[in-house]
Amino acid sequence: MSDLTNIARPYAKAAFDFAVEQNALDAWLQMLVFTAEVAKNDQVAAMLRTTGVAEQQAGIFIQVCGEQLNEQGQNFIKVMAENHRLLALPEVLAIFIGHKEEFEKEITVDVISATTLSSAQQDKLIAALTQRLARKIKLNCSVNPDMVGGMLIKAGDMVIDGSVRGKLDRLATALQS
């Protein structure tokens, strides 16, 4: 686990709790997406590393973000700047999204298959995963022709390997035992 993740966790939790309290999850998500992209910018990141004065960092950052930040978002940036944590904004965003998905009983599932899944296959997969995980499912499908056949499903910590390669590997392990 990176240091930025540990640094970002309390900020993400505070932003999430405030957003829930204000019933503004989507607005905060949009602000964090924008500020995370600004923090990833090479010129901004260099400025954040070299400028040690928190007021300057916050002022420049808020000026760059413009109307993308409401008053609470600006205060959030000021607090992070005071603690020299603006470079952790991309991690804050990632953790915030995790909290939001947990709150909304939603999970993003990565599906890697050998061929493109049809919409009927995707619907069937969503129905099965919804029943198994008891959550609303968002599929993130990709194709890897090296898989030969089947699919690999990743949902949080859970991995379901239904690929031909995975089955062959398990068979080889069983035969060697």
Residue boundaries of the structural domains of the chain: 3-101, 106-176
C-alpha to C-alpha distance for 54 and 60, rounded to whole angstroms: 10
pTM: 0.68
Class of domain 3-101: mainly alpha
DSSP state of 68: G
Fold of the domain spanning 106-176: Glutaredoxin (3.40.30)
What type of residue sits at position 1? M
Identify the band that residue 15 occupies on the pLDDT scale cut at 50, 70 and 90: very high
Kindly report, residue by residue over 71-113, the tens digit of the pLDDT.
Answer: 999 999 999 989 888 889 999 999 999 999 888 888 889 999 9
Q: Which of 66, 61, 82 is nearest to 11 (CA)?
A: 82
Which residues, in sequence order, are CB contacts of 48 under 8 Å at separation 6+? 39, 57, 61, 86, 87
Please give the average per-residue pLDDT across 32-50, as a whole number: 87
Residues 6+ apart with CB under 8 A from 172: none
Distance CA 177, CA 159 (A): 23
Helix-strand-coil split of the chain, %, nearest 5: 70, 15, 20
**Strand segments (E) across the chain:** 106-113, 136-143, 151-155, 158-161
Mean of pLDDT over the chain = 88
Is beta strand 158-161 parallel, antiparallel or unpaired with respect to 136-143?
unpaired
Cα–Cα distances (Å) from 71 to 31, 68, 77, 89, in that order, read 11, 10, 10, 17
CA atoms of 79 and 63, how far apart (whole Å): 16
